[in-house]
């Protein structure tokens, strides 16, 4: 296992990195340190594993897990390394389309891409010699955090794994980079884009929407859905819609980001106006559900107020909103939701 193999040499490596950092110049993709940003340090960030103090403005930024690299990229910083895309990468280059576009805009080369197929690549992270490791939206375990902390200060999630909103990710990570004001402006820009796009479909306002997880056509005896704690469900409220009361009630009893219930309890979902899920563009997912004797009784399924996000396409990937993805696919996603609302 990477973590076990790596721990034996991490202390020596950390010492070597600290010594070499004194003489190394900053990575060519890192921005110059401004006086105002430098004045923001040291900065301390509290998170689920305690607190992390960053003594001076980071020049070499690494990120782990999903989408954390998008905050520095959106703020004009090319990380020295981040996780290779394992979902939504249609051309196989390890980059999501919005990342590739931003890297091209910034004129930077592709950073080191960590392969997280079997977990965090601790050796790969250490080899990039980071000054800080961003993971505000992640699934870090205590062991992951402890191992990464031997490499550089780690910014972990504030409360729960995989539950940090895109706003909080920007707020937390921009503060760690000494760019809090720029982070606030980025949030305001994205919020305006969301408001403007949603305004094209007035019928969306106030509609209740739920997000089903992947559907298994071979077993429709149960349904799984994302709770209000998940960023996919939170995206709906960003667009002026709301969580169904049934989903809010179920979510209040847990901190999990998804739940499963028997299909025999479908009457609980009668308050859902629109359903979103991962499926196909041809309509076979909806057709399968409409043929099922139990799930077909859900009003949203019966009338076709249904959005099926095909496979690992950009719009399906970005249904989990992240700082760069939102702007890239927002129009397409709102169009799909608007068409579903038209069937109400």
3-state secondary structure of 225: strand
pTM above threshold 0.95: no
CATH code, residues 202-341: 3.40.50.1980
Where in 112-205 does DSSP place strands (E)? 112-114, 132-134, 154-155
Which listed CATH number (3.40.50.1980, 3.50.50.100, 3.90.1200.10, 2.40.50.100) goes with 2-182?
3.40.50.1980
Find residue 258's DSSP bridge partners: 226
Q: Residue 23 has what pLDDT?
A: 37
Tens digits of pLDDT across the chain (344 residues): 444 444 444 434 444 443 333 333 333 334 434 456 677 899 999 999 999 999 999 999 999 999 999 999 999 999 999 999 988 888 889 999 999 999 999 997 899 999 999 999 999 999 999 999 999 999 999 999 999 999 999 999 999 999 999 999 999 999 999 999 999 999 999 999 999 999 999 999 999 999 999 889 999 999 999 999 999 999 999 999 999 999 999 999 998 999 999 999 999 999 999 999 999 877 899 999 999 999 999 999 999 999 999 877 899 999 999 999 999 999 999 999 999 999 99
| Domain boundaries defined on the chain | 2-182, 202-341
Q: Which residues contact 335 (CB under 8 A, 6 or more apart)?
A: none
What pLDDT does residue 30 have?
A: 40
Same fold across 2-182 and 202-341? yes
Check: CB of residue 287 under 8 Å from CB of residue 301: no
User: Please, are residues 68 and 81 in contact by the beta-carbon 8 Å criterion?
Assistant: no
């Amino acid at each position: 296992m990477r973590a076990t193999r790596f721990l034996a040499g991490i202390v020596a490596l950390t010492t070597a990195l600290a010594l070499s950092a004194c003489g190394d110049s900053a990575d060519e993709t890192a921005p110059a340190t401004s006086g105002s940003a430098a004045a923001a340090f040291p900065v301390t960030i509290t998170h689920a594993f305690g607190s992390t103090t960053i003594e001076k403005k980071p020049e070499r930024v690494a990120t782990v897990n999903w989408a954390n690299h998008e905050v520095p990229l959106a703020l004009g910083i090319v990380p020295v390394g981040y996780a290779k895309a394992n979902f939504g990468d249609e051309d196989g280059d390890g980059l999501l389309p919005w990342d590739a576009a931003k890297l091209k805009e910034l004129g930077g080369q592709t950073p080191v891409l960590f392969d997280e197929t079997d977990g965090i690549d601790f050796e790969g992270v250490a080899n990039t010699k980071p000054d800080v490791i961003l993971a505000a939206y992640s699934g870090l375990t205590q062991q992951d955090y402890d191992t990464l902390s031997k490499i550089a200060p780690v910014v972990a999630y504030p409360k729960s794994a995989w539950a940090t909103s895109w706003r909080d990710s920007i707020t937390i990570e921009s503060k760690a980079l000494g760019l809090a004001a720029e982070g606030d402006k980025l949030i305001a820009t994205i919020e305006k884009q969301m408001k403007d796009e949603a305004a094209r479909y007035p019928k969306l306002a106030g509609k209740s929407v739920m997000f089903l997880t992947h559907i298994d056509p071979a077993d429709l005896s149960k349904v799984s859905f994302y709770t209000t704690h998940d960023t996919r469900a939170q995206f709906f409220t960003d667009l002026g819609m709301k969580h169904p009361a049934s989903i809010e009630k179920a979510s209040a009893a847990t901190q999990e980001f998804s739940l499963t219930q028997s299909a025999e309890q479908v009457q609980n979902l009668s308050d859902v106006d629109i359903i979103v899920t991962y499926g196909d563009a041809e309509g076979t997912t909806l057709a399968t559900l409409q043929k099922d004797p139990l799930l077909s009784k859900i009003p949203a399924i019966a009338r076709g107020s249904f959005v099926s996000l095909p496979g690992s396409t950009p719009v399906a990937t970005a249904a989990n909103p992240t700082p760069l993805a939102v702007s890239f696919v927002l129009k397409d996603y709102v169009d799909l939701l608007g068409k579903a609302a038209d069937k109400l």
